[in-house]
């Protein structure tokens, strides 16, 4: 039999894909289409002179960037010629609003960061190129903080104009690829590229709304590790607002707005040399690619500082907060105990070293209670502690028993007094703590990484707390609570293990 | 030549199209009727479901916004119009080399082999074609040829209907179809003398 059109037709028909409809998409699009229908009905319709349209579809002018910028229709009718100019209703795809961001040589925009339990931070950002950026942030205490980064020089400069203090950080060990990717804007562009081009990414139209009196159209993109909503102005084809949920567990919301592209910028604004008149502090940070060893280091430091218990989750913000508070408490406690020791030593009641140690323990518990209201110490035990009353009186400056409010005030005052010392201690551990988390964040999706350390005490034998499969490896690497590491053919089975979201476009390891 | 339907000949589907120019509920019914066909058309042309959904969304948002200006009065008019918009949107999407490459990579990676590979030569006769392979072959054709193939074989449109969608003459559609099929035969290296077909 000859393989003709009919035969080939039958074969082609049989070969079709599984094209089952997705009811959710059908339903959502129905609502959006009806909304668009309503808007179109509300607009006055322009009518051509003469007969109706014949072939408007032939005459479409498309710009290289936008899919439909304007439509010009030529209608030839019996008895006359009519021209109907249709100037509105341009249709934009997600890719069109992303294009100006991807193609910009320079950019200025506002960025607002909202984190649960934290004050909202607003910054003005200027981007000169992929490696140079300037961010002016409004701090919670209403002062301004300026951070300038220049990754080709491997440096950042943070300025506090109010106190005339400058911090210069040198990033040692940066690879070329890291230089290209460190800049916040470059990382954002990388996410947008994935959102635009990666097959299988879910993009859904959000319809229209008004932002600052402008009609905008929106798109939502869901990717591993982040969710992004982009709103654009169909009149200009430019992005108006981008809202992104970030953080390992989606607990941080970042909004970028007020975009201005390709404006000339003064290069001197991006200099990482401290201005004259500033007190300069220098710091070197190891910026080389993070490894498994760094993660073990993170666990070690965290447990040492936080009572020997692993974090509830590998989420940067809560972990850093807890470490910061513990360090603050330790510094305040140390300072307070110094005062107490001096007073007890010069007081009427002489206490032994053991008794003074017990007083210090009790004071620690009270201070910890100020930081965490859930940790109210056992009052009866405290009452039994010899010398505690005198110690509290010593702290109160001889005023007698302190109320809870006064204790809290004193703790805050001590913390404020010791904030500089506390900050210095925190900065010693900040980078090694973060490096382990960077290692986790940049694991690819197929690493199948999991964390199971919540509530586990360091040193517990044979208790897996983290595992992952390195790229190209046949076995898993398993980190145990005693910080030993072993290879395993299969991932451990631990109840409550949390899957670690992979980076949206992380480097492969 | 299409005869203008007399009132007696008017079908309910045509009436729905007329009402949908201004009536929201009627437009919703039209959407319900055409969503499956348009999505499937986009999906077969674009291979990746998420991309097909995106483009389907574009199509219906364009249809909704232009409905007041749509001049057609029959279901056939609407069908040609909506498929024309869909074809334009799909072609616009495929115009970017990067996108075509991504779709080809998806097809190459696809594990969804519902059918066995290429028509077998010899006594076994012609089996089923592999969809990813077929998709890649079709994607290598010109956009117009791709559209003709899809509309003909998957949407079961006549040459005249395809001509209405693509705004070409029926003769041009026949020539385009013939060329597309010849290119496909060459791609699959079918030897007509050795192929047998199991009829149903």
DSSP type of residue A141:
T
Q: How many CB pairs under 8 A join A and B?
A: 153
Q: Which of residues 65-104 of A touch B (CB under 8 A)?
A: 67, 89, 91, 93-94
The whole-number average pLDDT for the span B56-73 is 90
How many C-beta atoms lie closer than 10 Å to residue B50's C-beta? 17
What does R_g of chain A's alpha carbons equal in angstroms?
A: 31
CA A291 to chain centre: 21
Q: What is the per-residue pLDDT for A178?
A: 65
pLDDT of residue A92: 63
What's the mean pLDDT in A314-320?
80
Nearest CA in chain A to B43: A19
Nearest to A322 by CA among A333, A337, A309, A335: A309
How far apart CA A453 and CA A478 sit, in angstroms, is 12
Q: Considering just the CA atoms, what is the radius of gyration of chain B in Å? A: 19
Q: Is B179 left (phi over 0), alpha (psi -120 to 50) or beta?
A: alpha
CA distance A163 to A98: 40
Residues pairing with A74 in the sheet: A83
B8 Cα to chain A: minimum distance (Å): 24
Among A209-218, A326-335, B134-143, which is the least confidently predicted range?
A326-335
Yes or no, beta carbons of B65 and A40 under 8 Å apart: yes
Question: H or E stretch including A491?
Answer: none
A424 Cβ under 8 Å from any chain B Cβ? no
Coil, strand or helix at A281: strand
Residue A48 at interface with chain B, using a CB cutoff of 8 Å: no
Q: Over pLDDT 90: what percentage of chain A?
A: 19
Q: Give the separation between CA B57 and CA B49, rounded to whole angstroms.
A: 12
Contacts of B53 in chain A (CB under 8 A): 22, 25, 204
Would you call B140 an interface residue with chain A, using a CB distance cutoff of 8 Å?
Answer: no
B43 to A17: CB separation less than 8 angstroms, yes or no: yes
Contacts of A6 in chain B (CB under 8 A): none
Between CA B93 and CA A193, with CA A109 as vertex, the angle to 5 degrees is 30
**How far is B35 from chain A, CA to nearest CA, in Å?**
7
Vertex A383 angle, CA A382 and A384, to 5° = 90
Lowest-confidence region among A63-77, A404-418, B148-162: A63-77
pLDDT the model gives residue A16 = 65
Residue of chain A whose Cα is closest to the Cα of B99: A197
Mean pLDDT of all residues in A5-32: 78
Partner-chain residue, chosen from A1, A3, A30, that has the shortest CB–CB distance to B31: A30
Asked if A57 reaches chain B (Cβ–Cβ under 8 Å), the answer is yes
pLDDT recorded at residue A117: 66
Q: How far apart are CA B77 and CA B2, in angstroms?
A: 11
The per-residue pLDDT for range B106-161, each reduced to its tens digit, is: 776 664 443 334 443 333 344 456 778 788 888 888 889 999 998 998 888 999 99
Rounded CA-CA distance B20/A484 in Å is 69
Rounded to the nearest 5°, which phi and psi values hold at B149?
Answer: -60, -50
Residue A153 contacts residue A166 (beta carbons within 8 Å): no
Q: Quick check: B61 pLDDT over 80?
A: yes
Give the other-Cβ count within 10 Å of A106's Cβ.
16
Least confident of A186-195, A402-411, B39-48: A402-411
| Burial of residue A266, with CB atoms counted within 10 A of its CB: 0-12 exposed, 13-18 middle, 19 or more buried | exposed
How high does pLDDT run on average in chain B?
Answer: 79
What's residue A504's pLDDT?
40
- If you count them, how many residues does chain B have? 200
Q: Which segment of A169-183, A280-294, A313-327, A482-496 scores lowest on mean pLDDT?
A: A169-183
The mean-pLDDT minimum among A89-93, A221-225, B13-17, B158-162 falls in A89-93
pLDDT above 50 for A446: yes
3-state SS assignment for residue A38: helix
Whole-angstrom distance, CA of residue A200 vs CA of residue B57: 16
Tens-place pLDDT, residues A365-394: 776 666 555 667 787 777 777 777 766 666
| CA distances (Å), origin A416, targets A121, A160, A328 | 21, 18, 9
C-alpha span between A430 and A437 (Å, rounded) = 11
Q: Which of A367, A246, A371, A366 is nearest to A317 (CA)?
A: A246
- Model ipTM value: 0.80
Chain Cα centroid distance, residue B114: 20
* pLDDT at res. B118: 40
Token reading at B137: 């072959």
Of the candidate ranges A91-95, A233-237, A254-258, the one whose mean pLDDT is the lowest: A91-95
Residues A285 and A177: their CA atoms lie apart, in Å, by 17
Answer with the residue of higher pLDDT: A405 or A253. Answer: A253
The torsion angles phi and psi of A227, rounded to 5 degrees, stand at: -130, 140
Which residue of chain B has the CA closest to A84? Answer: B69
Q: How confident is the model at residue A400 (pLDDT cuts 50, 70, 90)?
A: low
In chain B, the residue whose alpha carbon lies closest to the alpha carbon of A6 is: B153
Distance from CA of B41 to the nearest CA of A (A): 9
Any idea what DSSP says for residue A457?
Answer: B
Q: Does A204 touch chain B (CB under 8 A)?
A: yes
pLDDT for residue B42: 94
- Spatial distance between the Cα atoms of B98 and B94, rounded to a whole number of angstroms: 9
CA distance A470 to A448: 9
DSSP, residue by residue, chain B: -PPPPPGGG--HHHHHHHHTTT-HHHHHHHHHHHHHHHHHHHHHHH--HHHHHHHHHHHHHHHHHHGGG----SHHHHHHHHHHHHHHHHHHHHTSHHHHHHHHHHHHH-----S-SSPPPSTT---PPPHHHHHHHHHTS-HHHHHHHIIIIIS---HHHHHHHHT--HHHHHHHHHHHHHHHHHHHT--GGG------
Residue of A397, A329, A334, A390 lying closest to A360 (CA atoms) = A334
Closest by Cβ to B24, choosing from A37, A60, A62: A37
Judged by a CB distance cut-off of 8 A, whether residue B188 touches chain A is no
Task: Provide the 10 A C-beta neighbour count for residue A36.
Answer: 25
Please tell me if residue A32 touches chain B, with a CB cutoff of 8 Å.
yes
Compute the C-alpha angle A379/A385/A391, nearest 5°: 100
DSSP codes joined into one string, A208-228: EEEETTEEEEEEEEEETTEEE
How confident is the model at residue A198, as a pLDDT? 67
Q: Measured between beta carbons, which residues in chain B are less than 8 angstroms from residue A94?
A: 54
């Amino acid at each position: 039999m000859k393989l003709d059109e009919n035969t080939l037709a039958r074969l082609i028909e049989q070969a079709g894909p599984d094209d089952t409809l997705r009811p959710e998409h059908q339903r959502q699009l129905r609502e959006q289409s009806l909304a668009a229908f309503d808007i179109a009905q509300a607009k006055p319709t322009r009518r051509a002179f003469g007969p109706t349209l014949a072939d408007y579809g032939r005459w479409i002018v498309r710009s290289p960037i936008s899919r439909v910028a304007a439509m010009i229709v030529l209608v030839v009718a019996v008895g006359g010629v009519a021209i109907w100019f249709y100037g509105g209703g341009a249709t934009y795809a997600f890719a069109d609003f992303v294009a100006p961001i991807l193609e910009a040589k320079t950019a200025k925009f506002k960025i607002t960061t909202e984190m649960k339990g934290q004050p909202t931070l607003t910054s003005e950002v200027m981007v000169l190129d992929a490696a140079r950026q300037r961010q002016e942030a409004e701090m919670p205490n209403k002062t301004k903080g300026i951070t300038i980064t220049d990754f080709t020089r491997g440096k950042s400069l943070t300025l506090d104009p109010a106190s005339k203090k400058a911090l210069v950080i040198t990033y040692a060990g940066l690879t070329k690829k890291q230089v290209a990717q460190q800049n916040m804007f470059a990382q954002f562009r990388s996410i947008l590229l994935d959102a635009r081009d990666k097959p299988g990414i879910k993009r859904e139209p959000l319809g229209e709304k008004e932002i600052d009196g402008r009609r905008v159209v929106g798109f939502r993109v869901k990717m591993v590790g982040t969710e992004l909503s982009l709103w654009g102005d169909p009149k200009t084809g430019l992005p108006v607002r981008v809202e992104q949920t970030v953080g390992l567990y989606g607990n941080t919301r970042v909004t970028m707005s007020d975009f201005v592209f390709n404006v000339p910028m003064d290069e001197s604004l991006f200099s990482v040399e401290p201005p004259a008149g500033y007190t300069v502090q220098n710091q070197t940070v190891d910026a080389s690619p993070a490894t498994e060893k760094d993660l073990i280091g993170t666990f070690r430091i965290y447990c040492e500082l936080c009572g020997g218990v692993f974090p509830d989750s590998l989420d940067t913000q809560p972990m850093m907060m807890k470490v910061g508070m513990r360090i603050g408490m330790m510094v305040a406690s140390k300072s307070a105990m110094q005062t107490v020791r001096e007073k007890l030593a010069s007081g009427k009641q002489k206490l032994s070293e053991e008794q003074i140690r017990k007083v210090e323990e009790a004071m620690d518990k009270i201070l910890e209670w100020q930081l965490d209201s859930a940790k109210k110490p056992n009052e009866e035990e405290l009452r039994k502690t010899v010398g505690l009353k005198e110690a509290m009186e010593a702290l109160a400056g001889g005023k007698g028993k302190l109320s809870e409010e006064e204790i809290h005030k004193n703790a805050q005052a001590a913390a404020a007094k010791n904030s500089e010392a506390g900050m210095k201690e925190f900065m010693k551990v900040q980078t090694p703590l973060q490096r382990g988390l960077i290692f986790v964040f940049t694991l690819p999706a197929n690493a199948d990484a999991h964390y199971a350390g919540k509530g586990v005490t360091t040193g517990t034998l044979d208790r897996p707390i983290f595992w992952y499969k390195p790229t190209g490896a046949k076995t898993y690497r398993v980190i145990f609570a005693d910080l030993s590491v072993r290879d395993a053919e299969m991932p451990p089975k631990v109840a409550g293990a949390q899957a670690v979201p992979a980076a949206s476009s992380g480097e492969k390891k | 030549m299409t005869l203008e339907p007399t009132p007696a000949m008017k079908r309910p589907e045509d009436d729905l199209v007329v009402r949908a120019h201004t009536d929201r509920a009627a437009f919703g019914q039209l959407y319900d009727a055409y969503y499956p066909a348009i999505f499937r058309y986009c999906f077969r042309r674009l291979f990746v479901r998420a991309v097909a959904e995106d483009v389907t969304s574009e199509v219906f948002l364009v249809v909704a916004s232009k409905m007041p200006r749509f001049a057609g009065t029959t279901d056939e008019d609407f069908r040609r119009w909506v498929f024309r918009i869909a074809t334009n949107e799909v072609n616009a999407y495929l115009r970017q080399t990067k996108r075509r490459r991504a779709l080809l990579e998806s097809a190459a990676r696809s594990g969804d082999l519902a059918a066995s590979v290429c028509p077998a030569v010899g006594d076994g006769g012609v089996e089923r074609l592999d969809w990813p392979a077929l998709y890649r072959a079709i994607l290598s054709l010109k956009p117009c040829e791709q559209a003709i193939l899809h509309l003909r074989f998957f949407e079961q449109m006549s040459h005249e209907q395809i001509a209405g969608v693509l705004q070409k003459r029926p003769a041009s559609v026949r020539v385009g179809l013939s060329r597309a099929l010849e290119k496909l035969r060459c791609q699959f290296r079918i030897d007509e003398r050795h192929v047998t077909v199991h009829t149903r």
